[in-house]
């Protein structure tokens, strides 16, 4: 991802880091559905919300039990619209993890 693409992300997204006890960068960037209420992290910017509060469907992992028509549900449409921002944010976390694991000792 180009640096210019990251600048387009709101500052609240670029600077947000999970604050949940025990959460790690590795856990945050996993591609699986998050079973630990990850998406309810304290201070999570609304642009990073990708899991429905009602049915807990995860739009990034495409996992869960849909309880609505995702083609017309306003909440589903909003959350699906956040997926690209969420994935861009994950790229920031991956770059940080890469930097930490490959930093000179």
- pLDDT tens across 51-95, in order? 888 888 889 888 888 888 989 999 999 999 999 999 999 899 888
- Calculate the dihedral angle through the C-alpha atoms of 62, 70, 47, 92, rounding to the nearest 10 degrees: 20
Closest CA to 86 of 37, 27, 14: 14
82 burial type by CB count under 10 A (0-12 exposed, 13-18 middle, 19+ buried): buried
- The number of CA neighbours under 13 Å toward the Cβ of 98 is 6
Judge whether residue 31 has pLDDT over 80. no
pLDDT given at position 66: 85
* Mean of all residue pLDDT scores within the chain: 80
Q: What are phi and psi of 46, to 5 degrees?
A: -60, -25
| pTM for the whole structure | 0.78
pLDDT given at position 35: 53
pLDDT given at position 13: 93
Domain ranges of the chain: 3-101
């Amino acid at each position: 991802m180009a640096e210019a693409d990251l600048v387009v992300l709101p500052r609240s997204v670029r600077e947000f880091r999970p604050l949940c006890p025990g959460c790690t960068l590795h856990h945050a960037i996993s591609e699986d559905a998050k079973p630990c209420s990850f998406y309810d992290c304290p201070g999570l910017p609304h642009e990073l919300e990708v899991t429905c509060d009602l049915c807990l469907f995860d739009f990034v992992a495409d996992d869960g039990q849909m309880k609505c028509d995702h083609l017309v549900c306003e909440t589903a449409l909003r959350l699906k619209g956040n997926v690209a921002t969420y994935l861009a944010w994950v790229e920031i976390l991956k770059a940080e993890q890469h930097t930490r694991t490959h930093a000179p000792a």
